[in-house]
Amino acid sequence: MFSCAAAGWGEFGVLEARDLACWRGDRAIFAGLSFQLEAGGALLLLGANGAGKSSLLRLLAGLIPPAEGALLWDGADALADRVAHAARLRYLSHQDALKPSLTARENLLFYSRLWGGDVAGALEAVDLTDLAELPARILSSGQKRRLALARLALAPARLWLLDEPTVGLDAASVARLGGLLAAHRAAGGAVIAATHLPLPLPGARELAL
């Protein structure tokens, strides 16, 4: 388990979404969306297909700009410095973002060069140690998802943005993810997750889109 002090985080601060609006193409997806998230907090994004959950996560990750409103970190514009914003978060999209020809271990080595971290420990955290030398392309879909989730265990980041993190996972893997989420929150991290499936995030607030 990591800690704020070990990670050199200092205070987490507060993430605040203020009156966000989002357009995709020529369509308004949502508007007037506001919330706050503090250290240790968790927010579940709920809503029908197409409601805008993935769009909101991409917006929070700084990948698409808000059409209106502001995203604040400790009261300052979080998106003014995209590099600093990217450094404080991990974003896991629908896609696993793996290189098929690289082994599981090599895929994590790539990310460890960006963020640092313990590759062997991250593989262990998602129970992939025994498959570490297999190319990602031959992993099963649940194993690929676990390898994507191993990025969370690699090196700390204050804010985890997770899009359908449990799709394809078996019950034991969901439980292991629950352990990662709990440790992250206990260390002062925060989580925002979009899901249609039960997710082990006790006490999470819900935001319906």
Ligand X SMILES: Nc1ncnc2c1ncn2[C@@H]1O[C@H](COP(=O)(O)OP(=O)(O)OP(=O)(O)O)[C@@H](O)[C@H]1O
Its sign, for the CA torsion 83, 14, 165, 157, is positive
Give the contacts of 15 (CB within 8 A, at least 6 positions apart). 36, 37, 60, 71, 72, 73, 78, 159, 190
Q: Which residue among 47, 135, 142, 168 contacts ligand X (CB under 6 A)?
A: 47
CB atoms within 10 A of CB 39: 17
Calpha distance 127→184 (Å, rounded) = 18
Q: Which residue among 20, 33, 55, 73 contacts ligand X (CB under 6 A)?
A: 55
Query: Binding pattern to ligand X, positions 123-162, x when CB under 6 A?
Result: ----------------------------------------
Site for ligand X in 2-41 (CB under 6 A): 24-25, 29
Query: Binding pattern to ligand X, positions 168-197, x when CB under 6 A?
Result: --------------------------x---
Least Å distance between CB 23 and ligand X?
9
Torsion of Cα atoms, 8 then 205 then 122 then 163, to 10°: -120
Least Å distance between CB 167 and ligand X?
10
Written as six digits, the tokens of 183 are: 């440790």
Applying CB under 6 A, the residues found at the interface with ligand X are: 24-25, 29, 47, 49-55, 194
